[in-house]
Structures are given as structure tokens and as C-alpha cells.
Amino acid sequence: MAKIIGIDLGTTNSCVAVMEGGTPKVIHSAEGRNVIPSVVDPIKNIVGDVAKRQMVINPKSTIFSVKRLMGRKFSDVNVQNDLKWLPYVIKPGKNDMAVVEVEGRQFTPQEISAKVLAKIKADAEKYLGDKVTQAVITVPAYFDDSQRQATKQAGEIAGLVVLRILNEPTAAALAYGLDKKNAHTIAVYDLGGGTFDISVLELGEGVYEVKATNGDTHLGGDDFDKKILDYIADEFKKEHGVDLRKDPQALQRLRDAAEKAKIELSTSLEAEINLPFVTQGKDGPLHLVMKLSRAKLESIVDELIQKTVEPVKKCLSDAKLKASDIDEVVLVGGMTRMPKVVETVQKSFGKEPNRSVNPDEVVAVGAAVQAGVLSGEVKDVVLLDVTPLTLGVETLGSVSTPLITRNTTVPTSKTEVFSTAADNQTSVEINVLQGERPMAADNKSLGRFVLSGIPAAPRGVPQVEVTFDIDASGILSVTAKDKASGKVANIKITGSTGLSKEEVEKMKKEAEEHASEDTEKKEKIEARNHADSLIYTAEKTLKDLGDKVKAEDKKEVEEKVKALKDILESGSTSDLKTKTEELSAVIQKVGAAAYSQNQPSAEQTAEEPQANGQKKDEKKVEEGEVVS
């Protein structure tokens, strides 16, 4: 079965996406772009960027914005308005339907759009390496039957079976998975290249129903670019007395620069516009150098942004809803990247809009999701499971040390090396834990086992390799291996991912609720572990170095060790940290002195920190010790 593609057939640009491995992926055009300009020369049969490049020389045969004519009668008031500004010839065709005339030949808007769709189909086939015959195509929510029918026909002309005509705002909602989140009432704010649409949708029986739409068919990114361009040109004229708009080459550069500045100002607060040798003045070449701040840009385009506020209000009142009734707001269209637009939307609805999906692609992505549902891929695909909760082991101080973090796709395996907590410890107990909390006791214990027969050695020396392995069916095997003796012990836990949904939610919620309290607890235990291991190191160092330590230094170390020992169980985290640092400083001093006296004798202490490239102080705590 071939793939079904999802197509956003836009007024200015079009975009295509497909489901792959359960996630939607945008297919790039042969030109390497994520969108294709909806521009066509039907005579030369060229489409997209290439067609756009000949617009100046062939204005009458380069057709753009044909979506505005789709399924409309020539006498339609909108067509009559568009007629005035579109440079190509529009005539009444069969049944008074609007058609485009190029070099004496008539083309229906369906035929023109079909050429865009055919390119999309070809690009998708090249990407997928397979024939594409089926598609989901999106249309504005306000499209009537005739317009929808025309869009479907365009697909058929291009050789695509259109399985579904999907509303653009619904597609946007699907892209965000809002249907699964059970967002009942949503608003989609779509500010594209040439049009502005606002829609309110309501979820009923698994489908989004359009409650109301509104908008402005002649408001979009192009208007913003023009405002910015005019501002720059006016400023330049004020300074140099030359109107750059009259020089086609300068105008072209200015247009690019205005768009670039607009894009840059979505992320930075100031953009510099540099166009050296932009035109020729009376006394030689002129350069355009200008700084444009975000605040200035916002004041230039504010009027345009404000034009979206009224339609939003009308749309809400038509839907008989208040702004507070809206559960989710979704942003669509490149212009919604502008911070001022986001702010305006937020003000209108009183909530943060969804904008994590690329706004140029979101409609195509949603169409692909719908295509996936139709092909059964979304529902039926063998989705690889993920571990719903973190899996780890209990280490010294009842700390839960994670090995496999939650949302890891299974099958997977992870190995970490641990050590012992006490001198001459010959066995370790592995407590397998599941949960997000930092303390072992707060997580669920899945099982315990003991690895014995570890050769006696000082604490921290034995290396116990613990491996967590989850197979595709969610069965967790935990293996512990002593690297020195080769002794192995293991446990198999079935259904480690088998918590009920409610349980997972509860545990996640608990983790969030207890986050700060848990962190404090964990911090304290870590501080204590840290102090404990430093005491051990200090005593060992004194013993190892013996006479090489000056009497007064030895005394100081002993005093500090005692001070730390006194507060080990009862002291506060900050006290523990302070005293540990004090002891650490003294130990370092002693160590350094010993090194300068006799390097080989300090060999043993020098070895430790290199073990796994961590700092000596941290090593003990980080590696943790499997509780005995």
C-alpha cells in the first residue's frame, strides 16, 4: 500500500508532509525548500520558485493567488475585487465560473492548482521512492461546497485521489494532537503570506466542527514586508533625496532586506540593514546603512496587527463564546513568529498560544496526520513502546540512581559501574526501582537480588557492572557482574512498563508535587555522602602518608575530621557543605605538601580520581555505592 500524503494547498505557498514511522515529516521540494510558492506558468508548465522568477517579464502568464478564484463565479464580489489587482486576465468561463486566460487559452483555477499539486506529487514520489496516488488536501474552513469540490478536482487532475478535504484549522489542531488532549473548544489564528483567518472549532464525537470563522482575505506577510520596505525607502529618501523604489535593482535588494530584517527581528531586538552600493547618486555610489529596532518595527506594522483583533472578537461572538471559553489557541502562518503578533493573540484570548510546530508546516503536518489515520498507519502501526517511568537502582543513602530515564524507546539497554560502600564488603544488594522521585523509598521497588562473592577490598575499589535491559515486550532484566571475580547475578522483571495509565499519571504528579522537597532531601543525603567519603579519604591519606605529614597539619586534619563527624548525622545541608569544604581544603594542602616531598608515595591517592575522569570529591557520590 502506497503512502498517503497531506497537502496544504495555500494561497501564497504550499507544503506537503507524510507519516513516517508514526510521525509526520515535511517533504522538501526539489529546490530544497519546505514550501513551494503557489505560482504557475501554465503555458511553459513551470511551477514554484522557477515560475516566480519570471513574474516581472511575464506578468500575464505567471499565475499566483489562484486559490482566491477557486470554485468562484466570475460575478462573485470577491473575484470582482481581485480582478482589479491581479496582473493576469480573469474571465467568465462555463457557467460563469472564473477562469484564467493566458495567451488566448483558458485555464480553470483547478487546472492551475493541479500543476502545483503535480509538482508536490513528483517531489513526494522522489522523496519516498514510490508512486503516490492518494492525498488529503486542506482548504480554509469558510470554503463552500463548490470551492471544496474544485479543490478535489484539482487533485484528481494532478493524478491524486483526494481521500479527504480537510479544514485548515482542523489540520492545525491535529498537528498539535489537540483531539487527543481532549481540548474541547479551540481557536486557530492563521496569519499567512496573503490572508488572515481566525476559526473557532468545537470537538464533538471525535471530530472538530467549525463553529465560526472570520478574517481578512487581504492581510498577510506581504503587507508587512511592504510597510517595512516603505519605511526604509522613505528614510533613505529623506537622507539622500533618492527614491529606491524607482530603481528596479535597488527595489529588489530592498525587498529582500526588508524581509530579512523582519525575520531577524523575531528573534533579536535590533537588525542592521546594510546595502552597500545600493544605487548611484549624483556624486557617486550610495550605501544604505540603517538600524531597525524591534520596537520601531512593531510601531510600523502595529496597524496591520491591530486589524486582526476585530475579526477575532467577531469570530468569538459568532460562536457565542467568550475568550475564556477557549481551551487552546493554535498559531499558523509564518507571520505568527513575530513576537508582537504572539503578544496580541495572547491578549485577545488571555492564554499562551501553541506554537511549537513550525507555523509554515503545521497545516501540512496535520493533513499528514489525517492521512495516517485514513491509511490506518496512525491507529494500526506497531508503535514501539516507551518506558513510562524511570528505572534505576538504590544507592548509598537510599538515593534512587536512574539508569533508564522515562520515555526511552524500548528495546534498550544501559550499563553503569557501581562500587561498594564499606571496606571489605563482599556482597551488594541490587534494589531495582521505578519512579521519578529522587529517594528510593518514594519509588516502587520492582525487585531485589544479591550479588555475593566479591573479593574483599577497600570501599570504592570493587567494580560492579549493573546492566538494565528491556526487551520489546517490556520485560526488564537486571544483571550485576563483579568485574574482578566475574561473578554474576540477575533478575528478570516482567511487566515493568505495565503500570496502568492512572498509576503512571499519579506517580508523575507526585513527583511534580514533591519536587522541591525531594530535591532538598536528596541534596542533604548527597552532602552527607560527600562528607562521609571525604572523612574516609582524609583518614586514609593520613594513614598512608604517616610521618610525611607535619604534626600541625595532621592535627588540623584530625580536628576538621572530628568536626565533620560530629555533624554528619544531624547537621544541616549547608553546615555539612561548609565543613566538608574546610576539610577538603586542608587535605589538599597536606596532599600537595606530600607530593612535593615525595611523589611516588602519593601514588595511591592519585589513582582514584582518574578512575572515570571525575573529580575525586564527586566520584564517590556520583558512582554511588550499592547498598549492602
Partner 1 sequence: MKQQIDEWKAKYLRALADYQNLERRTHEEWQEKQTRATLAVISKILPILDTIRKAADHLQDPGLNLGTKSFTDVLVDLGVVKLDVIGLTFDPATMECIDVVDGEENKVLDELLPGYIYKGILLRPAKVKVGKTKGG
Q: Which long-range contacts (CB under 8 A, 24 or more apart) does 513-520 make?
A: 514/437, 514/442, 518/437, 518/438, 518/439, 518/442, 519/438, 520/573
The CA angle 295-299-304, to the nearest 5 degrees, is 130
Q: From edge to edge, which strands make up the β-sheet containing 89-92?
A: 89-92, 98-102, 105-107
Cβ nearer to partner 1, comparing 45 with 346: 45
**For partner 1, which is the closer residue by CB, 47 or 136?**
47
Q: How far is the CB of 279 from partner 1 (least distance, A)?
A: 11
Using the Cα atoms of residue 134, residue 138, residue 139 and residue 141 in order, give the sign of their dihedral: positive
Catalytic residue among 8, 202, 442, 526: 8
Select from 49-57, 141-149, 166-174, 473-481 the region that touches partner 1 (CB under 8 A).
49-57
372 within 8 A of 136, measured Cβ to Cβ: no
Write down the least CB distance from residue 249 to partner 1, Å. Answer: 5
Span of 52-60, 110-118, 316-324, 327-335 interacting with partner 1 by CB under 8 A? 52-60
Q: How far is the CB of 58 from partner 1 (least distance, A)?
A: 8
Instruction: Kindly state the cell numbers that stand for 229.
Output: 520596505
Q: Is 544 a catalytic residue?
A: no
Residues 66-95 close enough to bind partner 1 by CB under 8 A? none
Per the annotation, the verdict on 67 as an active-site residue is yes
The yes or no reply on residue 56 touching partner 1 (CB under 8 A) is yes
Query: Taking a C-beta distance cutoff of 8 angstroms, is the pair 168, 151 a contact?
Result: no
Stretch that binds partner 1, among 73-81, 121-129, 402-410, 586-594 (CB under 8 A): 121-129
Nearest-angstrom CA–CA distance, 238 and 242: 8
Q: How far is C-alpha 246 from the geometric centre of its chain's CA atoms? A: 43
* Shortest separation between residue 268's beta carbon and partner 1, angstroms: 17
How far is residue 143 CA from its own chain's centroid? 31
Among 45, 75, 81, 252, binds partner 1 (CB under 8 A): 252
Check residue 127 for interaction with partner 1 (CB under 8 A): yes
Q: Is 374 in the site for partner 1 (CB under 8 A)?
A: no
Angle between helices 515-545 and 551-567 (to 10 degrees): 150
The minimum distance between CB 229 and partner 1, in angstroms, equals 15
Selection from 343, 329, 335 nearest residue 172 by Cα: 329
- Does position 382 bind partner 1 by CB under 8 A? yes
How far apart are CB 104 and partner 1 at their closest, in Å? 15
**Candidate ranges 126-134, 291-299, 465-473, 487-495; the one touching partner 1 (CB under 8 A):** 126-134
CB of 380 to partner 1, least distance (A): 9
Residue carrying the nine cell digits 461572538: 317
**Closest CB 128 distance from partner 1, rounded Å:** 8
Amino acid in position 435: G
Q: Is 50 in the site for partner 1 (CB under 8 A)?
A: yes
For the four alpha carbons of 44, 45, 49 and 52, in that order, the dihedral sign comes to positive
The residue within the footprint of partner 1, chosen from 104, 129, 206, 613 (CB under 8 A), is 129
- Candidates 174-182, 205-213, 246-254, 421-429 — which segment interacts with partner 1 by CB under 8 A? 246-254
Taking residue 529's Cβ as centre, other Cβ atoms within 10 Å add up to 21
* Least Å from the CB of residue 405 to partner 1: 25
Nearer to partner 1, 48 or 402 (CB): 48
Name the one residue in this structure whose C-alpha cell is 503516490: 132
Q: Are 565 and 539 in contact (CB under 8 A)?
A: no
Q: Which is nearer to partner 1, 287 or 322 (CB)?
A: 287
Q: How many C-alpha atoms does 371 have within 13 Å on its Cβ side? A: 32
Least distance from partner 1 to the Cβ atom of residue 604, Å: 49
Residue 3 Cβ vs partner 1, minimum distance, rounded to whole Å:
10
User: Is residue 248 close enough to count as binding partner 1 by CB under 8 A?
Assistant: yes
Exactly one of 17, 40, 51, 369 binds partner 1 (CB under 8 A); which one? 51
Residue 64 found at the interface with partner 1 (CB under 8 A): no
Kindly identify the residues of this chain, within the stretch 273-332, that bind partner 1 according to CB under 8 A: 276-277, 284-285
Residue 161 CB, nearest approach to partner 1 (Å): 21
Do residues 137 and 155 touch, judged by C-beta distance below 8 A?
yes
Of the two residues 49 and 544, which places its CB atom closer to partner 1 in the complex?
49
Task: Report yes or no: 368 and 7 within 8 Å, Cβ to Cβ.
Answer: no
Distance from C-alpha of 448 to C-alpha of 628, rounded to nearest angstrom:
12
In the chain, the N- to C-terminal Cα span, in Å, equals: 57
Dihedral sign, Cα of residue 298, residue 304, residue 307, residue 311: negative
Nearer to partner 1, 375 or 387 (CB): 375
Of positions 45, 75, 81, 249, contacts partner 1 by CB under 8 A: 249
Which span (51-59, 534-542, 560-568, 612-620) binds partner 1, by CB under 8 A? 51-59
d(CA 221, CA 529): 59
CA-closest candidate to residue 587, choices 552, 627, 557: 557
Q: Is the preceding peptide bond at 388 cis, omega within 30 degrees of 0?
A: no
Verify binding: residue 26, partner 1, rule CB under 8 A.
no
Strand order in 428-434's β-sheet?
Answer: 399-404, 391-395, 428-434, 444-451
Q: Is there a catalytic annotation at residue 560?
A: no
* Cβ neighbours around 60 below 10 Å, total: 12
* 168 catalytic per annotation: yes
Q: Determine the interface stretch with partner 1 among 8-16, 43-51, 179-187, 400-408 (rule: CB under 8 A).
A: 43-51
What DSSP designation does 565 have? H
| Annotated catalytic residue within 123, 168, 202, 625 | 168
Residue 53 interacts with partner 1 (CB under 8 A): yes or no: yes
Q: What are the C-alpha distances in Å from 45 to residues 109, 111, 220, 437?
A: 14, 11, 28, 62
Residue 103 binds partner 1 (CB under 8 A): no
By CB under 8 A, is residue 104 in contact with partner 1?
no
The answer to whether residue 21 forms part of the interface with partner 1 (CB under 8 A) is yes
612 in contact with partner 1 (CB under 8 A): no
Q: Is the distance from CB of 24 to CB of 372 less than 8 angstroms?
A: yes
Which of 5, 15, 27, 46 is the binder for partner 1 (CB under 8 A)? Answer: 46
Binding residues with partner 1: total (CB under 8 A):
23
Q: Which is nearer to partner 1, 119 or 481 (CB)?
A: 119
Show the DSSP H helices in 357-448 as ranges: 362-375, 377-380
CA angle 229–234–235, rounded 5-degree value: 100
Catalytic residue among 67, 115, 152, 521: 67
Catalytic residues: 8, 67, 168, 190
Footprint on this chain of partner 1 (rule: CB under 8 A): 20-21, 31-32, 46, 50-51, 53-57, 127-129, 248-249, 252, 276-277, 284-285, 382
